[in-house]
Amino acid sequence: MKVTILGCYAATPRTISNPTSQVLEMSNRLFLIDCGEGTQVQLRKKKIKFSKINHIFISHLHGDHCFGLIGVITTFAMLGRETDLHIYGPKGIKEFILTPLRLSGSFTSYNLYFHELSSSESEIVFEDEKVLVRTIPLKHRVYTNGYLFQEKPKERKLNKEKAEQYNIDKCYYQNIKSGKDIQLDNDTIIPNTELTFEPEPSKSYAFCSDTIYNEDVIPIIKDVEVLYHESTFLEHDLQYTERTMHCTAKQAATIAKKANAKNLIIGHYSTRYGSIEPFKTEAEEIFPNVYLAEDGIEFEF
């Protein structure tokens, strides 16, 4: 599982920082999460193949999370893309994209599918044979969802030596890997645990941005391996969190701790701060495994 941070600052793009966008690689799929202005250039900088992105998840329609989406969509078209592209985001995102497309006399060379969200409950929005994505309803100034990406349970690993000892025909191997016990010709039943090793653990990634401190997300992201949680402010600016509906680094860390997350990446820093190091220091007072998002950085878990 790899997370590439394309941008992780709040508000406006600057010469030294980009608004929110990141790419999650999970089970050989690339998911683009949020798409602030400049995202297509950041994708190019990181040499991420446009053609491998088939699903884009937008948290909310504030500019620093979506003003780059129309550019991504039209550039994909200009490059002759033919593969379907799926956009997940708040109700209104279809109009948000189709209006400039229509007004600019543009069209896409591929099918563009919008999955508009309006539920206040967590719901599954994407599922294939390997990955499942569900929303994490957040509380912000506008309708907002985070997204939880989960690998489905993987196949158990065959203990080939054991299977050969029991003379089990290879045609049963797939059954064994999917967890079944085996009945031998002499009617003995060999329990699956004897024939297999534990599968690789399934990875999970939760993206929570933007949001006020909200413990309602905890049951949804419980035990997640990696939590990306916004932390717009440092503790001495706590008073801004109510009005702006953002979090401090400590609040992000508190969510990580209460959700029993294994790792926490923080980002969406307000551009008012000279250094982001204090975000780490403050978060680590609550939770140990804190990583600072930075534009262009890659995390592998």
Of 13, 9, 104, 6, the residue nearest 56 (C-alpha): 6
Does 92 bind its own copies (CB under 8 A)? Our answer is yes
Does 7 bind its own copies (CB under 8 A)? Our answer is no
Tell me the C-alpha distance between 301 and 20, whole Å.
Answer: 21
CA 177 to chain centre: 28
Residues 54-73 that bind its own copies (CB under 8 A): 61-63, 66-68, 70-71
Does 49 bind its own copies (CB under 8 A)? Our answer is no
**Amino acid identity at 250:** K
Binds its own copies (CB under 8 A): choice among 49, 103, 129, 275: 103
Does 120 bind its own copies (CB under 8 A)? Our answer is no
Residues 6 or more apart whose Cβ sits within 8 Å of residue 44? none
Binds its own copies (CB under 8 A): choice among 74, 150, 231, 232: 74
What is the longest distance spanned by two Cα atoms in the chain?
Answer: 74
Does 48 bind its own copies (CB under 8 A)? Our answer is no
Does 272 bind its own copies (CB under 8 A)? Our answer is no
Judged by beta carbon, residue 141 or residue 170, the one nearer its own copies is 141
Does 38 bind its own copies (CB under 8 A)? Our answer is yes
Phi-psi region of 120 (alpha: psi -120 to 50; beta: other; left: phi over 0): alpha
Judged by beta carbon, residue 38 or residue 146, the one nearer its own copies is 38
Tell me the C-alpha distance between 42 and 17, whole Å.
Answer: 11
Tell me the C-alpha distance between 4 and 205, whole Å.
Answer: 13
Inter-residue contact 32 to 53 (CB < 8 Å): yes
Judged by beta carbon, residue 15 or residue 28, the one nearer its own copies is 15
The span of 38-46, 118-126, 195-203, 257-265 binding its own copies (CB under 8 A) equals 38-46
Catalytic (active site) residue 169: no
Smallest separation, CB 85 to its own copies (Å): 16
Number of Cβ within a 10 Å radius of residue 294: 14
**Amino acid identity at 60:** H
Residues 6 or more apart whose Cβ sits within 8 Å of residue 146? 59, 135, 136, 137, 138, 206, 207, 208, 209, 211, 217
Does 106 bind its own copies (CB under 8 A)? Our answer is yes
Residue with tokens 């900088």: 45
Binds its own copies (CB under 8 A): choice among 12, 119, 174, 183: 12
Contact positions toward its own copies, by CB under 8 A?
A: 11-15, 37-38, 40-41, 44-45, 61-63, 66-68, 70-71, 74-75, 78-79, 92-93, 95-96, 99-100, 103-106, 141-142
Residues that are catalytic: 64
